[in-house]
Structure formats: structure tokens, C-alpha cells
Structure 1
Amino acid sequence: MNKSQKSEIVSALTTEFKSSAAVIMCDYRGLAVSELEALRKIAREKDAKVQVVKNTLATIALNNAEMTGIEIKDTNIFIWGSDAIAASKAAVDFAKANDKFVIRTAYIDGQAADEKKVRAFATLPGREELLGMLASVWMGPVRNFTIGLDALKRKKEEEAA
């Protein structure tokens, strides 16, 4: 890899990391290529991106994106996305299925985070679930009103009969 290719990778990663709510660093040592493809599929479903990056290039990109406080060493794969919950769920879901996959550290919502915080974010309801909850709350009074009207209608019909 020549210098221009490295600078292209760093600039692309810097742009991606700046626009991401979460960047999660994981150890993938011992995983087969087919297992990594499964991780990519899970991440794609959750609108997250996955890439293996050299540590020096990743360090430069993270520093350029003003994400400091993360120590990068050994073999790493990065998962990132604009939704911190979705990216965390992708990492945690894959880690549950693969013992060799280890979540190391992350940068979530402007702060360095450990594995516990990533797992905590993964337990939060996602955007679609929250929208469903909100719709249910909004529809509650309407639902109760229609149930009440229906009960009143039945009562009037029984009195008339």
C-alpha cells in the first residue's frame, strides 16, 4: 500500500467517523472469513459499517475526527454508524453468537466508552421500537374513546330491545 492509498483511506475514515454517533473497536482474532461476512450482514441490516483497518491508519483517522481516549493495539475491526444504538446492537448481537469476537472499546456520542457502555446501549430500544411506543401512547386515548363509544352503543341497543 503506497502513501496516496493510505491517505485516501485515512481521509475516507475520518469523514465516516466524524459523521458517526458510534465507533466500536472489536477484536476479531480467530474468526473465519465467513464469520466476518456474517458480521457485515448483521451490520448492514442495522445501517452500520464494518471494516478492518490498520492500527496506525485508524489512529490517525480517529484523531482527525477528534475522537481521543481510545487505545488501539492488536487486531481490530471497526463498526460504526450514525445510530449509536444500532451499531452497538450489531456488535453485541454478533458477540453473543461468536465467543472469539470481543468488544474492546468504543467512542459513543462524543465520549470514550468501554464494553459495558456498548452493551448498555445495545439493550436500549431502537428507533423503530421507540416510534412504535410513541404511536401506541398517542393512540391510547383514541382507542379508549372508541371502546367507550362502542360500549355505550351496545348498552343503548340492549335498553332499546
Structure 2
Amino acid sequence: MTRSEKIEVISKLEESFKVSEAIVVCDYKGLPTKKLEELRNNARENNVKVQIIKNTLANIALNNSGKTGLVLKDTNIYLWGDDQLNVSKVVAKFEENNDKFQIKTAFIDNEVADVAKVKALAKMPSRNELLAMLLQVWKAPIANFTIGLNALKNKKETE
């Protein structure tokens, strides 16, 4: 990679990291290419970006975007996105199914986060799931009222 290419990569990563709510760093050493493609496809479906980046370039981009404190060592794959729940769910689900894929560290809510926080976020319901739960709660009284009215109507008809 030439110096100008490195500068271009850093600037693109910096822009992307600035707007992302979650950045997760994982170890992928020994993972077959087919599995990496599965991860990329799953991430693409959930609007999560995945890229293998040299640690020095990633460190520069992270520092320039104001996200400092991540310790980067060995081989890393980076996953980031606008929705921290989506990023956490993609990473945690993939880690459950693959022994050679491990979450190392993350940057969530403008601070360095550990593996436990990423896994805790992955267990939380998404926005759409929360809206569906809320809709069910709102719908329940109306449904019970109509069931009661129908039962009353049937009782009056039989009398």
C-alpha cells in the first residue's frame, strides 16, 4: 500500500467511525473464508460494516474520530454501524456459532466496552421488537372489551 492509499483509507474510516455508535473488534484467526463471507452477508443485511484493517491504520482513524482507548493487537476484524444493538447482535450471534471468532473489545456509548457489555446489548430487544410489544399492550384492552361485548351479545341472544 502506498502512502496516499493509506491516507485515503484512514480518511474513509475516520468518517465512518465518527458517525458509528458502536465499533466492535474481534479476533478471526483461523476462520475459513466461507465463514467470513457468512459474517459479511449477515452484517450487510443488518446495516453493519465489516472490514479487516491493519491495526496501525485503524488506530489512527479511531484516534482522529475521537474514539480513543482501544488496545489493538494481533489479527483483528472490525464491525461498526449506526445502531449499537444491530452491531452487538451480529457479533454475538456469529461468535456463538464459531469457535475461532472471539470478541476482543468494543467502543460503545463513547467509551471502551468489554465483552460482557456487547453480549448484554445483543440480548436486548430491537426497536421494532419493542414497538411490537408496545402495540400488543395497547391492543389488549380493546381486544378484551370486544370479547366481553361479544359474550354479552351471545348471552342476550340465548335469553
SS in 1 for 2:107: strand
What residue in structure 2 maps to residue 72 of structure 1? 72
What TM-score do the two structures reach when normalised by structure 1?
0.95
SS in 2 for 1:129: helix
Structure 2 unaligned residues grouped into runs of 5+: none
For residues 93-132 of structure 1, the C-alpha deviation after alignment (integer angstroms, 9 at most, x for no partner) is 1111110001000011211101111011111111221111
What TM-score do the two structures reach when normalised by structure 2?
0.96
SS in 2 for 1:67: coil
1:63 aligns with 2:59: no
Identity of aligned residues (%): 54
For residues 47-76 of structure 1, the C-alpha deviation after alignment (integer angstroms, 9 at most, x for no partner) is 211000110110011111111111011100
What residue in structure 1 maps to residue 14 of structure 2? 14
SS in 1 for 2:130: helix
For residues 125-157 of structure 1, the C-alpha deviation after alignment (integer angstroms, 9 at most, x for no partner) is 112211111111121221122112111211211
For residues 4-51 of structure 1, the C-alpha deviation after alignment (integer angstroms, 9 at most, x for no partner) is 211111111111111111100000100111111011112112221100
1:44 aligns with 2:44: yes
What residue in structure 1 maps to residue 140 of structure 2? 140
Q: How many residues align?
A: 159
What residue in structure 1 maps to residue 131 of structure 2? 131
What residue in structure 1 maps to residue 152 of structure 2? 152
Letter in 1 for 2:31: L
Letter in 2 for 1:122: A
Give the distance between the partners of 2:83 and 2:109, measured in 1 at CA. 10
- Structure 1 stretches of 4+ moved >4 Å: none
Structure 1 unaligned residues grouped into runs of 5+: none
Give the distance between the partners of 1:16 and 1:68, measured in 2 at CA. 15
User: What aligned pairs does 1:107-118 form with structure 2 within 5 A after superposition?
Assistant: 107-118=107-118
Shifted more, 133-142 versus 91-100: the winner is 133-142
